[in-house]
Structure 1
């Protein structure tokens, strides 16, 4: 009996313990303690916005809306910029050997030109503040702001008031010039250059922050050689967090869209073993420094370039000059990257017209890109190939003759050999490719991490550039501009339905099936497998490219040249 009672008591204890664990009794709270509820994290209103991928985790919803609105308007995190100190500290990203360099006590005077159009006021103020705080004042003669017809209200009276405030502390240091209509970057930079009075001009965008010791290497290099134009190495300030990201030393180049790009430094500079030495560059970015008078002697920037893009490449090309004895160098303009500075830049359809005008100024480019029958207008998304009027360029060619500029052919061979020539002479079709089953979709390069082409809604971007060569290859995607890289060729692997994209040189070496027969408005037939590239509708409703026995499907390429005869039009 005692054992049974004890066992019953154990069962009751167990049941009570389980009950307490599942439904615990409320704890007694002392009368003087207030129980608080843990706040919930704000709901993410814009989970797909680039602004909130690394920033704004705990931002209240109303502030998220405000930040996203400013981001949509400016393209960078103005909400955060407005909260950061104007004189915030920045890490010194220079190589330690740069800190050991010394510069002459007597250096040229400096005019800093800041170009802007609808930037955020706090970003412009931070640029001004960094220049004042990190430039020796005995060198800094003036800061010239050029407003290229901004519509942002805070860049009117509020900016004038800020300038007046700065000038109370530094009399006459800041000047502002406002365009009555939008002129573009090249014109705005020339406006600032014409207004400058110092020995050296440094032309910057207004969304920059300069770091400690930025000016002395530039001024010292130009003092050594007044014909040097400097394109400084700069780091990056992230558009979302305003965190500084260090960029490694690189030289400035461009691709066949004539957009700027970074190239590897030459081996000759590496062999010097001196990271503080300037390095020659085949081109310049828009940010540059030059002797003010010398920049005028070579014609300054081409302010016929409208709004944005191309003027930096044009300046780079213009200065090739013949030396006595028939030797060609870069005697007038030594494009130089100065490595011992830290200049930060935050991320932020006239490019087409500018590039075509640039092509018109240089006969080799003119043969490639313009003239009576422009062969590659798609490089700048030009809507047709009926001829392009790029205006009167006679004065530009007269300037080239005055400067004794060498040809673009010579430039490619002697100055920029890493720019891979376009196979211009045997490309007979190019642009977007459409199939007869659906005219709204185009053959597309697809994700860069994959080697499978796709069909995608037609657009003007480089992933849908297709080039058909007389030799039979189809290049898919933007033309590769680097000598050491390769274009992608459309391939029939022979053993599956999916076509692939392979590097052309390797595909040819491996005897893959990269040669196709095609006539405008006809089938795309692989020469080796005799299969056709066609498209098939999936159960989801999307189309995919497939390789199969030829049916009645036909293709059309956007532009045809030379031997690619036109049989049908979709």
Structure 2
């Protein structure tokens, strides 16, 4: 009996030692840590396995990296301490500092969740594994700390770590140097501070010059990058270094900071006033994309705040015009330059980045925002638009009075690069932009306050009316020809009955028809029908259409073409 007890005791001791060895050697780590059944790798769903492989690999590699002294990983950054010192106090206007609702911005987590607004095909797409890393350049001036922090964190959180070489924050002489300096504690973030106000263009060039990666990514300071935003951009540039690519820019509401997906049917464009606008693709263009709705979109212009391009190509192409000030016109200039000098611009539907769109700028412009924008725009027009610049001056006559400085170095750059004429750009890149006839007296929208003369979709013998100006041409595009016809396509404004109150109709244009003759009077502020001496009037627009009435001071007779070509 005693011998049997000793044998059982030995077996028990060996069993305990075996279990201890198994646990110590790692064989039971999953059981010990999880408190349950160890999950067999072969039983894991393949998609889940891929995610585990990808995420754990990145996190493990990242956690094993040794951070430089004084640096922290973004999850460990103290958001409350950073944002808390600049929060809006009770009774203060939440829009005063940044022209968006800072109170709502400050409430949000630095890594808040946003909806994945990509097309389903993008979420199933595989990207190249050999993509180049990028330096992300973000310039700012007195940006709300919460918005700036979310921009930085969204880059780090939603980008593969190996593709972010660095984030370069260029502080354009903000009032509080700590806005940027404190963010320098975050991994991969470098902060450069200007010792005077330089503006967007010169600040971006400073950041680009300091960049260590072969690819540059420019972002505004109030953005939030979406899932897998970076890979599709880098892939296009890796395939062709002369591509300059932009994401679809989603909308972050300036009042409540709701994140809303933008349409994928838009391209960047402009009117002859050279103000950027979004153009809807033509029906033919939309139909051609039905088979591949996530294909890159060739765009005549980029918005300018968010884009990716090869660093060496950026330098070869002339960086930015360093004599442009503060903000404005730089997207116009770089868009013309890229296209005319052999490159291309694309919007990449599988890349989504949210942006806070504001109705006005929060910062000051030396000499006023209008003057600065006109100076910058004149520089772009004088260098790149050839004789077509005259349409800009017709649309914005006051711009002629704004000095634009010396452009000799930019003209020499254009010659050295062997760039194409602006006519090539209009014919091959932006054929949708209607070009006025040089002999026309006036062209474009015929405006009355915020409304414009509109065909209302009517054809021959239909009446015309007014509709809110949409700046998209179409039914609101008119020309006052040298023959004194007010013309839309092949239809002209016609006065059939020459008595006051008679409706104005659309009829086929006839060269010598006196019923179709009009002239501008009173400093081009009215349209008078030559045969009746009555003026175009909108007082009956709601009840039946536009009419002609006895000329007088009424606002319903005030009309202005967007371009007056014969001044």
* TM-score normalised by the chain length of structure 2: 0.66
Distance 1:177 1:229, change over 3 A: same
Q: Aligned to 2:134, which of 93, 104, 110?
A: 110
Q: Aligned to 2:319, which of 293, 297, 300?
A: 300
Mapped partners of 1:468, 1:353: distance in 2? 29
Q: Aligned to 2:374, which of 348, 352, 376?
A: 352
Offset at residue 314 of structure 1 (A): 1.4
Quick check: 1:235–1:344 contact (8 Å CA) kept in 2? yes
Quick check: 2:101–2:254 contact (8 Å CA) kept in 1? yes
Equivalence map 1:73-472=2 (5 Å) = 73-151=97-175, 153=176, 156-164=177-185, 166=186, 170=187, 173-249=188-264, 250-265=266-281, 267=284, 270-271=287-288, 273-286=291-304, 287-320=306-339, 332-348=342-358, 349=370, 350-365=372-387, 367-368=389-390, 374-378=393-397, 381-382=398-399, 388-427=402-441, 444=449, 446=451, 469-472=481-484
Distance 1:131 1:524, change over 3 A: closer
Mapped partners of 2:353, 2:504: distance in 1? 40
Quick check: 1:67–1:78 contact (8 Å CA) kept in 2? no
Distance 1:496 1:116, change over 3 A: farther
* CA deviation profile, 1:382-439 (whole Å, cap 9, x unmatched): 3xx5x5532211111111111111111111011110011134432269999xxxxxxx
* CA deviation profile, 1:233-271 (whole Å, cap 9, x unmatched): 121111111111111222222221212222234646753
Distance 1:245 1:404, change over 3 A: same
Offset at residue 367 of structure 1 (A): 4.9
Quick check: 1:265–1:279 contact (8 Å CA) kept in 2? no
Distance 1:100 1:466, change over 3 A: closer
Offset at residue 183 of structure 1 (A): 2.5
Q: Which runs of 5+ in 1 are unaligned?
A: 1-62, 322-329, 433-441, 455-464, 476-484, 537-544, 565-570
Aligned residue for 1:410, secondary structure, equals helix
Aligned residue for 1:405, secondary structure, equals coil
* CA deviation profile, 1:67-95 (whole Å, cap 9, x unmatched): 87121332211101111111100111111
* CA deviation profile, 1:118-167 (whole Å, cap 9, x unmatched): 2211000011111111111111111111122333x4xx225422332x2x
Mapped partners of 1:143, 1:345: distance in 2? 18
Quick check: 2:170–2:207 contact (8 Å CA) kept in 1? yes
Mapped partners of 2:333, 2:437: distance in 1? 23
Quick check: 2:248–2:352 contact (8 Å CA) kept in 1? yes
Offset at residue 341 of structure 1 (A): 1.3
Mapped partners of 1:204, 1:280: distance in 2? 20
Distance 1:304 1:513, change over 3 A: farther
Mapped partners of 1:188, 1:528: distance in 2? 59
Quick check: 1:360–1:390 contact (8 Å CA) kept in 2? no
Quick check: 1:95–1:340 contact (8 Å CA) kept in 2? yes
Mapped partners of 1:559, 1:110: distance in 2? 42
Q: Report how many aligned residue pairs link the two structures.
A: 437
Distance 1:499 1:91, change over 3 A: farther
Offset at residue 518 of structure 1 (A): 4.2
Offset at residue 560 of structure 1 (A): 11
Q: Which runs of 5+ in 2 are unaligned?
A: 1-86, 359-369, 457-463, 468-476, 540-545
Aligned residue for 1:73, secondary structure, equals coil
Offset at residue 548 of structure 1 (A): 3.8
Offset at residue 278 of structure 1 (A): 1.4
Identify the range of structure 1 (420-429 vs 399-408) with the bigger mean alpha-carbon deviation: 420-429
Mapped partners of 1:486, 1:429: distance in 2? 12
Quick check: 2:490–2:509 contact (8 Å CA) kept in 1? no
Aligned residue for 1:229, secondary structure, equals strand
Distance 1:466 1:80, change over 3 A: same
Which residue is equivalent to 1:30?
none
Offset at residue 319 of structure 1 (A): 3.4
Offset at residue 466 of structure 1 (A): 11
Distance 1:115 1:530, change over 3 A: same
Quick check: 2:249–2:352 contact (8 Å CA) kept in 1? yes
Quick check: 2:517–2:530 contact (8 Å CA) kept in 1? yes
Distance 1:78 1:473, change over 3 A: farther
Mapped partners of 1:561, 1:271: distance in 2? 37
Mapped partners of 2:403, 2:94: distance in 1? 38
